[in-house]
Chain A
Amino acid sequence: MMNKKLGVLLLLVIPLTACSGLGVKPWQRDILSKPEMTFGDSPMDAAFDDHIYFSKEASSGGRSFSGGGCGCN
């Protein structure tokens, strides 16, 4: 028969490294985990904008690679 009674298991959680003032604890990520709080949450808009401004202005890149491509308008 299988009566199980075993041994005490110890349990620990790894200590969370204390860090400087910047940053949050993992459980404080509720707001940061919203899609709008991530960078690059509207890739379509960003790609269209990059294409428009790349072909209408002398600057490109910054947020991401400036890349090659045609400068014609």
Chain B
Amino acid sequence: MATVSNLNGNIADSGFHVIPFASGWKCYFRAMASPCEILIGACPESEAQRLSLLAWTEVKRIEQKFSRYRDDNIIFEINTSQGKVIEIDEETHRLLTFSDQCFQASEGLFDITSGVLRKAWAFHSNAVIPSQAEIEELLPLVGWQNVKWDANSIQLKPMMELDFGGIGKEYAADRALLLLTESHRQPYLVNLGGDIATNGALFPEHEWRVGIEAISDKLVDNVLKVQEGAIATSGDSRRYLLSNGIRYSHILNPQTGWPIKNAPHSMTIMAPSCVQAGMLSSLALLQGQDAESFLDEMGIQYWSQR
């Protein structure tokens, strides 16, 4: 675990602060490019500070270790390995195993090597639709099935890249909650930019209420009530590309290199853990038009916005 001292520089930058909130405490900070908050059941302030710091430290640790925007971590080492075998630790192996299992379960639709397609697809305001040739040039670099990996190492083909962006925030939320619960058994809610994990209500009548913000004026806000468990949302929100009247979602099909058609703008799912909720919502979006029926057939409750 990262020590507090070497993270101290970041703690102020991240806007970390703990304030009394409703029945207990609320810790606020920014991490993983999102506003984050930890709600803590009542305890002395010093304990709330300690617990907040514990959660913050874990979230920051995961961000620093697996972010693809850094040049000092395992992801950077793997993505710049140029075909060399890279040693990995147990936690990285666990994340790879999870990604592999999701790749298998989704029959290749969820693929942590699909990030290179971003080189062709940009989703800023004046971006243009790439040509089929540009996409086909990148497609050989996509394909988890081509990655060699085992418990201690991983070997990517040159130019291939890994991206844990689709699971990092949910993993951090679950991990923070686990550490908090282990350290002091009481109710918590961890919210990392909308990926939420809770371990139980504050008291029997209590339920956490989580508001889903409507993404357009046509839709209405929704409030979910949870006693325990997790909530995750996937979606394109405001990130899509309009060209000649066609709306291109930023969710790309790793097999064709093209955006998924007619996917909901957002998909919110409740599940026992945040990684599970996040993966189910990601897989649902990858079904495009069939996102809702995909979840209906599994009997999962969801809130989709189209």
Please determine if A and B sit in direct contact within the complex, based on CB atoms under 8 angstroms apart: yes
Chain A interface residues (CB < 8 Å from chain B)? 1-16, 25-29
Across the A-B interface, give the 7 residue pairs with the lowest CB-CB distance, nearest first: A27-B42, A26-B203, A10-B211, A2-B166, A1-B114, A9-B194, A13-B22
Complex Cα distance, B285 from A29, in Å, reads 43
Q: How far is the CA of A2 from the CA of B165 in the complex (A)?
A: 7
Digitize B125-160: 1 where CB-to-A-CB distance is under 8 Å, 0 elsewhere: 000000000000000000000000000000000000
Please, which residues of chain A bring their CB within 8 A of the CB of B166?
1-4
Q: Are A7 and B213 in contact (CB under 8 A)?
A: yes
**Size bracket, chain B contacts:** 35 or more
Q: In the complex, what distance in Å separates the CA atom of A26 from the CA atom of B41?
A: 9
Please, which residues of chain B bring their CB within 8 A of the CB of A4? 165-166, 169, 233-235, 278, 282
0/1 interface trace, chain B 256-291, chain A, CB 8 Å (1 if under) = 000000000010000000000010001001100000
Q: Mark B24-49, 1 if CB is under 8 A from A, else 0.
A: 10000000011101010111000000
Most B CB contacts (10 A, CB to CB) among A1, A10, A11 go to A1
Given A11-B37, A16-B22, A27-B41, CB of A6 within 8 Å of CB of B206: no
A15 to chain B, nearest CB (A): 7
Complex-state Cα separation, A6 to B282, whole angstroms: 12
Is the pair B22, A7 in contact by a Cβ cutoff of 8 Å?
Answer: no
Find chain B residues with CB under 8 A from A26 CB. 23, 41-42, 202-203, 206
